[in-house]
A and B are shown apart, each in its own frame.
Chain A
Amino acid sequence: MKQLTIENFKAMLDTALKNIKEREDEFSKLDAVIGDGDHGQAIVTAMSAIVATAKKGTEFKAMLNDMGFDVMLQVSGSTSTLLGAFFLGMSDHASGTELDAAGVKAMFAGGLANVQKQTKAQKGDKTMMDALIPAVEAIQACPSDDIKEILEAGAKAALAGAASTVEMKANFGRARNYGERSIGYADSGATSWSCMFESFAQAL
């Protein structure tokens, strides 16, 4: 696959929402270990808003921008802030109705850059960044010009990143107060974001 159309992208989002809904309870249970146990519901609500807005999109830049605005204005909480920031950042580096491999890479890099403006969390802090950073890095590093292969590289890195959070001690935000208690469980945000990247590759 050399070109990603806007319809392909909408299919990626639909698949992500479907898979995230199926695993809602799992994300909430992981969140309950060190948080308030609502991450499953939070990400389902946020992704539902994103998908609803994306359906109306006809062009990458405007569609991604509207997705970011709508999720932030309709859904409160950190999950929607970060997802909104991700899509707004993607909007800054995408345009038209089709993207080639370089366009896809630039779009994901823009998404990560904007999320990094919103959170100071780094790799190793046991947050969603442990899935997002490796995923975008792998997408950038992938030598192929086939978009499915590129997104598969991203998915693989995101899943490995999420798995690596099991051994980590929470080092960010309120979860930090739980320290040692967080070891042995994957981070809920890293897990749900890795599910999103896995879905993106699966959809193509």
Chain B
Amino acid sequence: MSDIKTKFINDPEQITPELLEGYVLAYPDQVKLGGENIVVRANPKSEDKVAIVTLGGSGHEPALSGFVGEGMLDCSVVGDIFAAPGAQRLFQALQLMKREAGILLVVLNHSGDVMSANMACQLAERVGIKVKQVLTHDDISAGIDADVNDRRGLAGCVPLYKILGAASEEGKTLDELVEIAERYNKNVATLAVAMRSCTHPQNGGTITDLPQGIMEIGMGQHGEGGGGQKPLVSADATAAEMVDLLCQQLKPKAGDKMMLIINGVGATTHMELNIIFRKAYKELEARGLQVVVSRIQEILTVQEQAGFQMIMAILDEDHIDYLKNKRADAPYWTTIGK
């Protein structure tokens, strides 16, 4: 029994294995465990196609393992709460996914994840595993046009899993997939807002204090500070400000085809998320932009933090096709396909 009085958990040290155990028991047609804290597809993709693998800490459910499945991820390597999985487990997963077509590793830009990935890839190459990395860095809270190394990877990785999963099913090569991913990376931006922090599930500590009635635009997905704190404003004013900042980064031109996703991070209701989406959509429409891919969902959460991430991208035709028309069947993302 833990000392944490706000969560239904058992032993804090067992949170990650227990949640993954429950997850694969619930979705046996789509996912299974491939090793300790390694989630793989229940029906593996054929070996002549590139495997799409990602890594990241737990505590963000359904991310990232919720997107393992046909047409999306082949494997998710899970760390402990908010922590990178480490090179050893990732190397084990790369050995598991080894194939001639190669492995594309999608890494969210967080120092621990980047380091685990660099180490594991360095070792993998030495034992003849063909692997390339793409780094996602969609967060714009470090400032418009900030150096990519200073931009964290937020929930913008999830649509990328869909794009890459579809493209690899189609038989695209490793190099082609890297190109598709980098083109998406250039044209995606995410901004997070929080108005109530969360507790760390293992130590019960509050991650960043936000007084009541205060919001922080730019907060990271572990509650680390980003932009400035300021008094809470209405849904419309918040959405409009965020769209404005995201458009300053992406600089879309009238007629561009856009993706707009509102990701709830835990305590903000779908009621609120819908209201936010409505205003963001209208703001884009007013700029002559056409929203062609949209979603309101909790795809990457931060425990009981209140707030959301707004993910926006200018899409190329192939990205649209992969997102909308190709089949995906992961527990937390399905697309019927055409």
Task: Tell whether A and B belong to one assembly.
Answer: yes
Within the complex, what minimum Cβ distance (angstroms) separates B133 from chain A?
Answer: 13
> B14-22, B84-92, B153-161, B205-213: which one contacts chain A?
B84-92
Q: Do B87 and A173 touch across chains, with their CB atoms under 8 A apart?
A: no
- Contacting residue for B91 out of A65, A73, A85, CB 8 A: A73
Closest beta carbon of chain B to A187's beta carbon, Å: 17
Against A, the Cβ 8 Å flags (1 = close, 0 = not) of B104-131 are 0000000100011011001100100000
In the complex the two chains form, what is the Cα distance from A174 to B152 in whole Å? 13
- State whether A72 and B111 are in contact (beta carbons under 8 Å apart), knowing that A81-B118, A118-B118 are contacts in the complex: no
The residue among B87, B111, B116, B123 with the most chain A CB atoms within 10 A of its own CB is B87
Write the A56-93 contact mask toward B (1 if CB under 8 angstroms, else 0).
00000000010001001110111001001100100000
A117 to B125, CA, bound (A): 14
What is the CA–CA distance of A74 and B91 in the complex, to the nearest angstrom? 12
Chain A residues near B119: list those with CB within 8 A.
72, 81, 84
Number of B residues near A (Cβ < 8 Å) is 13
Interface of B is mostly: helix
Q: Which residue of B lies closest to A81 (CB)?
A: B119
- What CA separation (Å) do A78 and B118 show in the bound complex? 10
> Are B115 and A72 within 8 A (Cβ)?
no
In the complex, chain A residues whose CB is within 8 Å of the CB of B122:
72, 84-85, 88, 117-118
Question: Contacts A65-B126, A174-B111 hold; do A76 and B86 have CB atoms under 8 A apart?
Answer: yes
A84 — which chain B residues lie within 8 A by C-beta? 119, 122
Give complex CA distance A80, B253 in Å: 47
Contact among A65, A72, A117, A174 with B87 in the assembled complex (CB-CB below 8 Å): A72
Which residues on B sit within 8 Å (CB–CB) of A65? 126
B23 to chain A, nearest CB (A): 25
A12 to chain B, nearest CB (A): 24
Contacts A78-B115, A174-B111; A73 near B126 (Cβ below 8 A): no
Q: A118: which B residues are within 8 A, CB to CB? A: 118, 122
Bound form: Cα–Cα A114–B332 in Å: 40
User: Using Cβ atoms and an 8 Å threshold, which residues of chain B touch A117?
Assistant: 122
B301–chain A nearest beta-carbon distance, Å: 25
In the bound assembly, the distance between CA atoms of A72 and B88 in angstroms comes to 8
Among A73, A74, A174, which residue has the most Cβ atoms of chain B within 10 A?
A73
Chain A residues closer than 8 Å to B91, beta-carbon distance: 73
Asked whether A73 lies within 8 Å of B123 as measured between CB atoms, the reply is: yes
A78–B84 Cα gap in the complex (Å)? Answer: 13
Q: Which of B83-104 contact A (CB under 8 A)?
A: 84, 86-88, 91
Determine whether the beta carbon of A173 is less than 8 Å from that of B111.
yes
Nearest residue, chain B, Cβ from A174:
B111
Bound-state Cα–Cα, A126 to B286, Å = 49
Q: Which residues of A contact B111 (CB under 8 A)?
A: 173-174
A118 to B133, CA, bound (A): 14
Enumerate chain B residues within 8 angstroms of A81, measured Cβ to Cβ. 87, 115, 118-119
Do residues A73 and B88 form an inter-chain contact, with CB atoms below 8 A? yes
Asked if B118 and A69 sit within 8 Å, CB to CB, the answer is no
Report the Cα distance A117→B87, complex, angstroms.
Answer: 17
Compute how far the CA of A74 lies from the CA of B123 in the bound complex, rounded to whole angstroms. Answer: 13
Bound-state CA distance A73–B127 (Å) is 14
Q: Is the CB of B87 within 8 A of A76?
A: yes
Which residues of chain A are near B118, meaning CB under 8 Å?
81, 118
Report Cα–Cα, A121/B84, bound state, in Å: 22
B115 touches A73 (CB 8 A): no
Nearest CB of chain A from residue B86's CB, rounded to whole Å: 5
Residues in chain B near residue A85, CB distance under 8 A? 122
B196 CB to nearest A CB, Å: 26
Which residues, 83 to 120 on A, are CB-close (under 8 Å) to B?
84-85, 88, 117-118
Given contacts A74-B88, A76-B86, A76-B87, are A69 and B123 in contact (CB under 8 A)? yes
In the complex, what's the smallest C-beta–C-beta distance from B16 to chain A, in angstroms?
16
Give CA–CA (A72, B115) in the complex, Å.
Answer: 10
Tell me the A20-63 residues at the B interface (CB within 8 Å).
Answer: none
Interface residues of A (CB under 8 A from B): 65, 69, 72-74, 76-78, 81, 84-85, 88, 117-118, 173-174
A selection of 22 A-B contacts at a CB cut-off of 8 Å is: A65-B126, A69-B126, A72-B119, A72-B122, A73-B87, A73-B91, A73-B123, A74-B88, A76-B86, A76-B88, A76-B115, A76-B116, A77-B115, A81-B87, A81-B115, A81-B119, A84-B119, A85-B122, A88-B122, A118-B118, A173-B111, A174-B111
Besides A69-B123, A72-B87, A77-B115, 16 other A-B contacts (C-beta < 8 A): A69-B126, A72-B119, A73-B123, A76-B84, A76-B86, A76-B116, A81-B87, A81-B115, A81-B118, A81-B119, A84-B119, A85-B122, A88-B126, A118-B118, A118-B122, A173-B111
